[in-house]
Amino acid sequence: MKKVLLLGGAGFIGFHIAKKMLEDGGYQLHIADNLFRSGGEKDDAFSTLEKNENIKFFKGDFTNPRSFDQLEDNYDYVYMLASMVGVDYVNTIPHEIIRVNTALIYNTLEWLKEASVGRVLFTSTSECYAGAIEAFGYDVPTPEEVPLTIEDIRHPRFTYAVTKMLGESGFIQYGKFNNFDTIIVRYHNVFGPRMGFKHVIPHLVQRFLNNENPFKVYGHDQTRSFNFIDDAVKGTILAAEKGVAGEIYHIGEEDEITIEKLVKTIGKYFNFEGEYENAPTFPGSVARRCPDISKAKNDLGYTPDTGWENGLERTLDWYKEYVSSGAAMHESFYDNKKNKE
């Protein structure tokens, strides 16, 4: 049995990694999380997952270093997935993005100094290099060697990217001096069921369900490559177990589409018969983003299987069922606190 710690394992990607590992077998999972996304309580999906005898759950605020005392001190693999993310959050509470993510990174690194761990995977983001494409015209699809760049340090949008840059450097350097292998993965627009409500696809779902007409298409000519959660999970586990120590891997999909195409595909799903209206993009949003995944293919044997259209349909089916059940379209302590006020 491979003994694995998933820090942030109740979140979107962490949950699906845990689910996949349990389906495959051969893993003993420890999941550490503060249940931020579900307002401090376990949702039904995680409660069902936790019934598996190979899972042990640790609840705590891991921005507090004392929370790490409850963990065991030896693991074959540690996946550092925990962070605060979401366009809404970076624009409304950027100071919390800085506080939470920096504390999580530093506390995890300090705990790793004393623990006995074989390999550590840190999850980063394409946001780290987005400024290099805009400012210097680097290639798209973009390889791992691109310089990490942000456009305007004053803009709150880049607070998340800054913390991920810190994490990439921190985990690589701590690993060198504290005898654990570090692998970095940079995600590129991962989406799928149970992804929450702070990202582009759930936002679009809410707007279509609210019967917005004309439907504004923000950044219609911008392009993205969307990576379905099953493929992201596969790439993450491959990177942790087969990746070269100290290396960075772009995990994503090379099928680049416009935001307009994404919006109209979702509109078709919801039988939208109104008008579309192009609108300016949000400040700080990049014109193009698509990863070169050659390195992941060569080193890991990673190949996306699902495709964005198939993945999108499965995602929209999940959200449609979720909303029809009467569940609230919000998440996290901050939203719950605001609703109570």
- Report pLDDT digits (tens) over 208-219: 999 999 999 999
pLDDT band per the 50, 70, 90 thresholds, residue 229: very high
Q: What contacts 331, CB < 8 A, 6 or more positions away?
A: 37, 38, 39, 196, 197, 198
So what's the pLDDT on residue 14?
A: 97
Q: 83-92, 227-236, 320-329 — which is least confidently predicted?
A: 320-329
Output the pLDDT for position 329: 60
pLDDT tens digits, residue range 19-32? 999 999 999 999 99
Percent of the chain with pLDDT over 70: 96
pLDDT above 60: residue 337: no
Mean pLDDT, range 156-171, rounded to an integer:
96
Give residue-wise pLDDT tens across range 194-210.
998 878 899 999 999 99
Q: How many CA atoms lie within 13 A of 211 on its CB side?
A: 0
Runs of H (alpha helix) within the chain: 12-24, 44-50, 87-92, 94-114, 130-136, 159-178, 200-209, 229-242, 259-269, 294-300, 308-324, 332-340
* Residue 341 predicted with pLDDT over 60: no
Identify any residues that bridge with 227 across adjacent strands, giving them in sequence order: 190
Q: Please determine, for residue 224, whether its predicted confidence score (pLDDT) is greater than 50.
A: yes
What number is the average pLDDT over the span 50-76? 97
Mean pLDDT, range 132-154, rounded to an integer: 92
CB neighbours of 43 closer than 8 A, spacing ≥ 6? none
CA distance linking residue 50 with residue 10, whole number of Å: 10
Alpha carbon 278 to chain centroid distance? 28
C-alpha neighbours within 13 Å on the C-beta side of residue 302: 30
As beta bridge partners, residue 154 has: none
**CA nearest 163: which of 62, 90, 60, 68?**
90
pLDDT band at 324; cut points 50, 70, 90: confident
Give the model's pLDDT for residue 245. Answer: 97
Cα–Cα distance measured from residue 287 to residue 308, given in angstroms and rounded to the nearest whole number: 19
pLDDT for res 197: 85
Rounded Cα distance, 280 and 231, in Å: 31
Residues 227-238 have a mean pLDDT of 98
Residue bearing the bigger pLDDT, 329 or 319: 319
Q: What confidence tier does 37 reach under pLDDT thresholds 50, 70, 90?
A: confident
Residue 137 has a pLDDT of 87
Q: Which residues contact 206 (CB under 8 A, 6 or more apart)?
A: 197, 329
Q: Is the pLDDT of residue 305 over 70?
A: yes
Structure confidence at residue 333 (pLDDT): 37
Query: Mapping DSSP to helix (H, G, I), strand (E, B) and coil, where does residue 185 land?
Result: strand
Q: In the 8-state DSSP scheme, what is residue 8?
A: T
Q: Which of 161, 204, 236 is nearest to 316 (CA)?
A: 204
Q: How many CB atoms lie within 10 A of CB 32?
A: 25
Cβ atoms of residues 22 and 55 within 8 Å: yes
For residue 4, is pLDDT > 80? yes
Distance of CA 259 to the CA centre of its chain: 19
Please state which CATH class domain 2-195+225-255+289-306 belongs to. alpha beta
**Helices and strands: H and E segment counts in the chain:** 12, 13
Percent of the chain topping pLDDT 90:
82
Q: Would you list the domain boundaries of the chain?
A: 2-195+225-255+289-306
Q: Mean pLDDT in the chain?
A: 93
Residue with tokens 């990490």: 148
